[in-house]
């Protein structure tokens, strides 16, 4: 199988590596940045860089477009014009409607792997980046069945879990669980910064809750401006709804409506619980919460004890008290059996274990 | 010194313990819940429970009010009427204006320790809970100097860092860095939950960014309804400002104003950097980011290696990739020297170290 990757950053480079290592494919690549192309060759992701977009694409069975969201619609059209009749063309953009709507071609399948985030660039590319990752695919009613099957199986060989979803649904949901949180984080930072300026830069100790709430504030501007613009059809109504809700809360506060605020907060508590359950059930993850003193080695001790008996911590978060004197370690463990085992072991070490 | 603690939960119990252990004070306490009072006696926080509010207060040099925010103004008046002329009365509520405005008494100093969070109840009380914690105090122009000094020194003996701030400033800043993030978290959860309901409960994998952004959603309703109401004078304008900002962003998106969105996002990036610097400088914390594979023992290995040479990790956060195959461990280490040492050690283990 011949695979072309257009755009060799973290995701494109990892796709090329996975294609060689997992699918034993011939890979070629193209990138407007010659340095990225050279790095991909040195890394072994591609045998050699193509001289042009056309020469990368014209012999391929599968083409991945790993370019910024803003250029994807035009790039998709360009590549579809160059690609063979039996080639499947896909992309990895964070929004799907615009690139899917840019043409009506049975060879195109939109894609969005949920992988990568805290690092970027070809230097961090890894062939196992997609192990266990959800990879959204947005076929349409005109998508050619055999080409879709080829892509689906290829992604499976990367270790990913392909999940079909309508482009429209994808973008509306991502607007709520990813794009709107980014907007909120920016707004929180802006208001706190304005207050700090008015207050001679002195802010109260902000603590982990403000840090968590604003962790994604000011994320990469080039990428996020693209995302906001390409998903504005979903984001504008989401913002309208958020503004409506905030106005209702504002009015309830102004009217000192204790019962209304309590109802609203109770609903949020129940809904969050249900949302997290849905999410965690997917991988059968079980949460354990362990209050611990904040001293060197205590997280190590817990992790080691569990590692020793082969219990993997799928996810780990430490919520320190504002004074850093103690913390609660939240751990997510796969499977009820391992969770019980973990709780038993941690209890034996003398720590209380809470199971929310 | 005789110290009375009214309300024996996590904070009240910890104050009583600190008063005995650190200030060698005689402590007594009162709580409308007899079980909490008994537990405080068993824990050694107080010698015996008082039979009434009056008998707890009438012989005291210092009285701490550790009751819910909503009852504090009335309770403060009641206690000030019972307390001796040379007794300082303080509270530990999360908002300060209402309780300070409830009277004009030179013996009252509002207080707010930034400690406790993920646990509650007398069972988790600890005499060292306030070690290194910022403890806001809100004296006014009529506050009696000697009484203020007594309280300030007492809190210092607990290990806390007393910081004087105007009640009004305190409430406006806390509205922005604590209360508004709670409102936003609830709104994010509500919108995602509504979408999940419309979509047959199927949500995309939400990943750590949504989880972080909504961690405080639906926090304890009794406590938070009180906080929202008692701080509504600061929160309503903060919400108005947030709504204005969101409307501007909404309009920029609807108008596809790429330059405006990019400017807004760049400003958020710079402001967040500056806010975090201000915060981190306070404790001279240095951040290290280490990309790691997500396997049992890797966090343990890092923590152990640093613990072995006596480098304390003041705070730790693991940001896993959505597919859980890898993660970035962020660590905050005190002092430039320890940070350099940590970076060297981690590098020697073969991990890249990023210093943001």
Check A243 against B224: CB less than 8 A apart: no
Res. B190: pLDDT tops 60? yes
- Å from B191 to nearest chain A CA? 7
- The answer, for A207 touching chain B at a CB cutoff of 8 Å, is yes
Q: For residue B144, what pLDDT band results from cuts at 50, 70 and 90?
A: confident
Task: From residue A256, give the alpha-carbon distance in Å to each of A38, A261, B100, B192, B231.
Answer: 63, 9, 19, 27, 10
Bridge-based pairing of strands A326-334 and A313-320 is antiparallel
Share of chain B above pLDDT 90, in %: 52
Nearest to A300 among B214, B258, B304 (CB): B304
* Mean pLDDT value across residues B181-204: 83
Q: How far apart are CA A85 and CA A258, in angstroms?
A: 64
Check A195 against B172: CB less than 8 A apart: yes
Which residue on chain B is closest to A238 by alpha carbon?
B191
Res. A99: pLDDT tops 90? yes
User: Lowest-confidence range among A242-246, B223-227, B278-282?
Assistant: B278-282
Mean pLDDT over each residue of chain B, to the nearest integer: 87
User: Lowest-confidence range among A149-153, A225-229, B31-35, B200-204?
Assistant: B200-204
User: Lowest-confidence range among A124-138, A247-261, A296-310, B258-272?
Assistant: A296-310
Res. B205: pLDDT tops 90? no
- Looking at domain A284-348, its CATH class is alpha beta
Q: What single string gives the DSSP state of each residue in A88-106?
A: EEEE--S--HHHHHT---T
Q: How far apart are CA A313 and CA B131, in angstroms?
A: 30
Residue B207's pLDDT is what? 60
Residue A121's pLDDT is what? 85
Interface of B with A in 167-206 (CB under 8 A): 169-170, 172-174, 176-178, 180-181, 183-193, 195-196, 199, 201-206
- The answer, for B306 touching chain A at a CB cutoff of 8 Å, is yes
- The answer, for A309 touching chain B at a CB cutoff of 8 Å, is no
B-chain residues within 8 Å CB-CB of A225? Answer: 258, 261-262, 265
Q: For residue A325, what pLDDT band results from cuts at 50, 70 and 90?
A: low
Share of chain B above pLDDT 70, in %: 88
Residue A118's pLDDT is what? 55
Interface test with A, best of B92, B133, B206, B301 (most A CBs within 10 A): B206
Q: How far apart are CA A61 and CA A2, in angstroms?
A: 5
CATH of span A169-278? 1.10.3660.10
Q: How many CB atoms lie within 10 A of CB B132?
A: 16
- Å from B39 to nearest chain A CA? 18
Give me the residue spans of the domains in chain B.
2-165, 169-278, 284-348
Residue B196 makes CB contacts below 8 A (sequence gap 6+) with A274, A275, A278, B202, B203
* Mean pLDDT value across residues A98-110: 93
Nearest to A250 among B119, B222, B236 (CB): B236
Residue B187's pLDDT is what? 96
- Å from A93 to nearest chain B CA? 15
Res. B327: pLDDT tops 80? no
Q: What's the residue count for chain B?
A: 356
| pLDDT digit string, tens, across residues A214-235 | 888 988 898 899 999 999 999 9
Residue A98's pLDDT is what? 93
Check B271 against A193: CB less than 8 A apart: yes
Chain centroid to CA B67: 16
Closest to A135 (Cα-Cα) out of A105, A166, A156: A156
Nearest to B207 among A114, A128, A317 (CB): A114
B-chain residues within 8 Å CB-CB of A69? Answer: none
Largest CA distance in chain B: 68
Res. B230: pLDDT tops 70? yes
* Mean pLDDT value across residues B130-137: 85
A240-255 burial: b if 16+ Cβ within 10 Å, else e: ebbbebbeebbebbee
Residue A104's pLDDT is what? 92
Q: For residue B336, what pLDDT band results from cuts at 50, 70 and 90?
A: confident
- The answer, for A244 touching chain B at a CB cutoff of 8 Å, is no
Q: Are A62 and A1 in contact (CB under 8 A)?
A: yes
User: In 3-state terms, chain A is what percent helix, strand and coil (to 5)?
Assistant: 50, 15, 30
Q: For residue B323, what pLDDT band results from cuts at 50, 70 and 90?
A: low
Residue B254 makes CB contacts below 8 A (sequence gap 6+) with A232, A236
- Å from A352 to nearest chain B CA? 11
Residue B272's pLDDT is what? 86
Q: How many CB atoms lie within 10 A of CB A86?
A: 12
Which CATH number is correct for A2-165, 2.60.120.960, 3.40.50.720, 3.40.50.150, 3.30.479.30? 3.40.50.720
- Å from B83 to nearest chain A CA? 31
Nearest to A275 among B196, B216, B273 (CB): B196
Check A217 against B269: CB less than 8 A apart: yes
Residue A324's pLDDT is what? 58
Q: How far apart are CA A166 and CA A175, in angstroms?
A: 14
Residue B263's pLDDT is what? 96
Q: Are A117 and A224 in contact (CB under 8 A)?
A: no
A-chain residues within 8 Å CB-CB of B284? Answer: none
| pLDDT digit string, tens, across residues A54-92 | 999 999 999 999 999 999 999 999 999 999 999 999 999
A-chain residues within 8 Å CB-CB of B267? Answer: 190, 218
Interface test with A, best of B18, B21, B115, B118 (most A CBs within 10 A): B118
Q: How far apart are CA A53 and CA A92, in angstroms?
A: 17
User: In 3-state terms, chain B is what percent helix, strand and coil (to 5)?
Assistant: 50, 15, 30
Which residue on chain B is closest to A275 by alpha carbon?
B193
User: Lowest-confidence range among A35-49, A122-136, B8-22?
Assistant: A122-136
Interface test with B, best of A118, A127, A128 (most B CBs within 10 A): A118
Interface test with B, best of A219, A253, A295 (most B CBs within 10 A): A253
Res. A53: pLDDT tops 80? yes
Establish, for the pair of chains A and B, how many residue pairs have beta carbons separated by less than 8 Å. Answer: 419
Check A325 against B129: CB less than 8 A apart: yes
Q: How far apart are CA A87 and CA A67, in angstroms?
A: 19
- Å from B101 to nearest chain A CA? 18
Chain centroid to CA A76: 22
Q: How far apart are CA B21 and CA A200, in angstroms?
A: 38
Radius of gyration, CA atoms only, chain B: 24
Closest to B29 (Cα-Cα) out of B21, B38, B150: B38
B-chain residues within 8 Å CB-CB of A307? Answer: 296-297, 300
Check B249 against A289: CB less than 8 A apart: no
B-chain residues within 8 Å CB-CB of A279? Answer: 203, 205-206
Q: For residue A321, what pLDDT band results from cuts at 50, 70 and 90?
A: low
Check A213 against B216: CB less than 8 A apart: yes
B-chain residues within 8 Å CB-CB of A192? Answer: 176-177, 271, 275
Q: How far apart are CA A347 and CA A342, in angstroms?
A: 8
- The answer, for B216 touching chain A at a CB cutoff of 8 Å, is yes
Res. B305: pLDDT tops 80? no
Res. A149: pLDDT tops 70? yes
Q: How far apart are CA A181 and CA A198, in angstroms?
A: 26
């Amino acid at each position: 199988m011949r695979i072309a990757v257009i755009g060799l950053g973290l995701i494109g480079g990892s796709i090329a590596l996975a294609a060689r290592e997992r699918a034993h494919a011939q890979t070629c690549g193209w990138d407007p940045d010659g340095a990225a192309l050279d790095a991909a060759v040195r890394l072994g992701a591609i045998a050699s860089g193509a001289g042009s977009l056309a020469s990368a694409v014209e012999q391929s069975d599968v083409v991945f477009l790993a370019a910024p969201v803003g250029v994807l619609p035009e790039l998709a059209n360009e590549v579809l014009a160059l690609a063979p009749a039996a080639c499947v063309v896909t992309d990895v953009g964070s929004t799907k409607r615009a690139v899917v709507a840019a043409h009506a071609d049975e060879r195109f399948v939109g894609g969005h792997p949920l992988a990568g985030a805290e690092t970027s660039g070809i230097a961090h590319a890894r062939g196992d980046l997609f192990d266990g990752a959800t990879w959204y695919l947005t076929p349409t009613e005109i998508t050619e069945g055999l080409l879709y099957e080829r892509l689906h199986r290829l992604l499976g060989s990367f270790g990913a879990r392909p999940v079909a979803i309508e482009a429209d649904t994808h973008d509306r949901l991502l607007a709520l669980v990813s794009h709107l949180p980014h907007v909120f984080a920016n707004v929180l930072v802006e208001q706190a910064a304005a207050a700090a300026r008015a207050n001679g830069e002195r802010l109260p100790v902000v603590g982990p809750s403000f840090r968590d709430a604003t962790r994604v504030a000011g994320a990469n501007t080039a990428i996020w401006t693209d995302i906001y613009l390409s998903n504005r059809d979903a984001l504008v109504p989401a913002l309208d709804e958020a503004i409506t809700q905030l106005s209702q809360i504002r009015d309830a506060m102004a009217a000192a409506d204790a019962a209304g605020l309590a109802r609203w907060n109770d609903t949020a508590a129940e809904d969050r619980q249900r949302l997290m359950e849905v999410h965690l059930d997917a991988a059968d993850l079980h949460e354990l919460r362990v209050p611990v003193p904040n001293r060197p080695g205590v997280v190590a001790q817990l992790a080691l004890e569990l590692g020793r008996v082969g219990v993997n911590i799928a996810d780990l978060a430490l919520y320190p008290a504002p004074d850093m004197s103690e913390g609660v370690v939240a751990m997510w463990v796969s499977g009820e059996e391992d969770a019980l085992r973990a709780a038993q072991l941690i209890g034996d070490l003398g720590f209380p274990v809470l199971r929310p």
